[in-house]
Structure 1
Amino acid sequence: MLNKFEASTLILRVVLGITFFIHGLTKFTGGIENIVGWFDSIGLPGFMAYIVALIEVVGGVALILGLGSRIVAALLTLLMIGATIKVKLAVGFLGNGQMAGYELDLALLAMSLFIAINGSKMFALDQLIIKGQKSDSQSKISLN
């Protein structure tokens, strides 16, 4: 029987994963040095651009696959809080005509927070790993 909650959470997890993966990949393929310079220009250490892009790429893939979803989503929640406060809050909800506002950041923050709180088990690789560990430990118990 299909669990509507888990199915809905799966949709959120995969869409969130794809979104962050593409954002991170764009940072690398579009010239990460430009992002490093931009981070420096807004008062953030430039090396943080690599960390953010890596979290987005690796975290996006992990979400799509369902590996460590709660931890990854918590990291993405922190990224979105930082991006909103440091960059987007000053330009407003819808932006200022030169830069987008924080409406997308807020939506991604809410999605990330939801996954961080609730997790996402449907079609998640960590569920296969957990099931495998349970069956291994049950086999060991029955052999003893």
Structure 2
Amino acid sequence: MIDPRTAPFAATLLRVTLGLLFLTHAWLKIFVFTPAGTAGYFQSLGLPAALAYLTIALEVLGGLALILGIYSRIAALVLVPVLIGTIVTVHGAAGFFFSNEGGGWEYPAFWTIGLLVSAMLGEGAYALRPHTNQKAVPNV
């Protein structure tokens, strides 16, 4: 059974945590690796350099949207391909466990599931743009 008293807060906790993770990854790409360095890394993988800049933008904008609760369902779904891209281009070859050398696909896959769950749950409490047609949570 879903507890309608706490479910909105659980959705908020998940939404904000996911947003913070994306902002942290964007911060790393901007201030540690630099956008040019990130673009070079993407090129070393055989990807277009422009995709690095798009990824950084998606991480910043999507992270902020999740944290603030602005179109967070859409933001979560838009960020799913970013994570699937990391599995396909980098982490998949390293195996399942993220502790493997090169970091396996375990963490990005779990993060992807978190985004999908967030998209299904909705904005939750304290969103700047709450979903206005939300119905009562059914007893499941």
- TM superposition score category, shorter chain reference: 0.7 to 0.9
The answer to whether structure 1 residue 23 and structure 2 residue 25 are counterparts is yes
Quote how far apart the aligned CAs of 1:60 are: 0.7
RMSD value over aligned CA atoms? 2.1
State the distance in 1 between where 2:10 and 2:93 align: 33
Quote how far apart the aligned CAs of 1:117 are: 2.4
Quote how far apart the aligned CAs of 1:98 are: 3.3
Larger radius of gyration: 1
**Other-structure match for 2:104:** 101
SS in 2 for 1:127: coil
Quote how far apart the aligned CAs of 1:87 are: 1.4
State the distance in 2 between where 1:96 and 1:9 align: 28
Note the residue ranges of structure 1 that are not aligned, 5 or more in a row: 131-144
TM-score, normalization: structure 1?
0.82
TM-score, normalization: structure 2?
0.84
Residues 92-123 of structure 1 show CA distances to partners (whole Å, capped at 9, x for unaligned) of 11257531111210121011111122312311
2:70 is aligned, of 57, 62, 67, to 67
Note the residue ranges of structure 2 that are not aligned, 5 or more in a row: 133-140
The residue correspondences of 1:31-110 to structure 2 (distance < 5 A) are: 31-95=34-98, 97-110=100-113
Residue type of the partner of 1:37?
Answer: G
State the distance in 1 between where 2:37 and 2:101 align: 18
Structure with more relative contact order (C-alpha pairs < 8 Å, separation 6 or more): 2
Q: Which has the higher helix share?
A: 1
State the distance in 1 between where 2:98 and 2:13 align: 28
